[in-house]
């Protein structure tokens, strides 16, 4: 997790919202740098509306910083593309 947090703190993002989302996902990630988005807890922790939070997630995917590994109506699993 600490490797992911360190990476997230210096990753090339465009907005403070993207940085916050990336850091929150990094803090929730496992040893394999995967994080599960399954409820509104993360947007609430980020003090962001859920739509704005998911917009930031999708922008991070477009930027190549996140990869969506699983998606269904109840949860999304993302992998942080931590540089080794």
Tens of pLDDT, residue by residue over 50-75, are 899 999 999 999 999 999 999 988 88
pTM as predicted: 0.88
Contact 9, 20 (CB under 8 A): no
pLDDT at 39 over 80: no
Own/partner pairs for 36-40, CB < 8 Å, 24+ apart? Answer: 36/75, 36/76, 36/77, 37/75, 37/76, 37/77, 37/78, 38/74, 38/75, 38/76
CATH fold label, 2-80: Arc Repressor Mutant, subunit A (1.10.10)
Burial class (CB in 10 A: 0-12, 13-18, 19+), 34: middle
> Residue 38 — pLDDT band, cuts 50, 70, 90?
confident
**Which residue has 């609430």 as its token pair?**
44
């Amino acid at each position: 997790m600490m490797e992911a947090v360190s990476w997230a703190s210096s990753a090339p993002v465009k907005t403070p919202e993207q940085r916050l989302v990336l850091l929150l996902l990094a803090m929730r990630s496992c040893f394999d740098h995967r994080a599960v988005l399954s409820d509104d807890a993360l947007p609430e922790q980020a003090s962001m509306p859920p739509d704005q939070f998911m917009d930031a997630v999708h922008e991070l995917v477009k930027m190549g910083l996140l990869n969506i590994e699983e998606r269904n109506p109840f949860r999304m699993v993302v992998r942080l593309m931590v540089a080794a």
